[in-house]
Chain A
Amino acid sequence: GEKVEQHESTLSVREGDSAVINCTYTDTASSYFPWYKQEAGKGLHFVIDIRSNVDRKQSQRLIVLLDKKAKRFSLHITATQPEDSAIYFCAAKNTGYQNFYFGKGTSLTVIP
């Protein structure tokens, strides 16, 4: 089955700098790649996604890049703020199936 590797387990950046979280996947049939944010003591909530028909998507300060050849996708958070501090999970899904495969999570700390 699909395996999603999330490369950074922890990441610290200074407020205003950019943060980048990288994920790789194994199944070439995966075509949908969402990112979720988990704040302390809460469930995950959706932040941004990308589908395999594009290689870049931006929503305000969040940019997702997808390199299908390398089976790699990344989340870029620009102009970071302290409230961006959380655990971020990447995931991959084959649209023909129900299961999302999640990475292990990256704990991001934004230092004021």
Chain B
Amino acid sequence: GGIITQTPKFLIGQEGQKLTLKCQQNFNHDTMYWYRQDSGKGLRLIYYSITENDLQKGDLSEGYDASREKKSSFSLTVTSAQKNEMAVFLCASSIDNSAETLYFGSGTRLTVL
């Protein structure tokens, strides 16, 4: 079996700060995703990547950048953290872009002061 590792587990930032979240997978999966989970809301797709160096915007991409420099890693940058923002960011992967089972990491919990 494989694992998805997200770092850091907890991230505290200041308003206006640029913050980077990292995700590594050892499944050798082609496709990776970043979802945002807000309390009381469903997961919303921020970015996904079909393969190394590919980036595709999801419904919630404004305010974020992403980078997929290696097949095994996918990072997400909050370009300017919003005051009082609190959310969990979940990274996921799938075998390829036609596969329909997602494998999730345990998340990065963001708090902006």
Contacts and interface: CB of A to CB of B under 8 A. Distances in A.
Interface string A76-106: 0000000000000101010100111111110
Contacts of A105: 42
Contact of A89 (B40, B43, B92, B106): B43
A43 interface: yes
Interface stretch (B11-19, B70-78, B79-87, B96-104): B96-104
Given A6-B42, A104-B40, A95 B106 contact: no
Contacts of A36: 102, 104
Interface of B: 4, 31, 35, 40-45, 48, 50, 56, 58-59, 90, 92, 97, 100-107
25 contacts: A1-B59, A4-B42, A6-B42, A36-B104, A43-B90, A43-B105, A43-B106, A43-B107, A44-B43, A44-B90, A44-B92, A44-B102, A46-B101, A49-B100, A49-B101, A89-B43, A99-B58, A100-B45, A100-B102, A102-B43, A102-B44, A104-B40, A104-B41, A104-B42, A105-B42
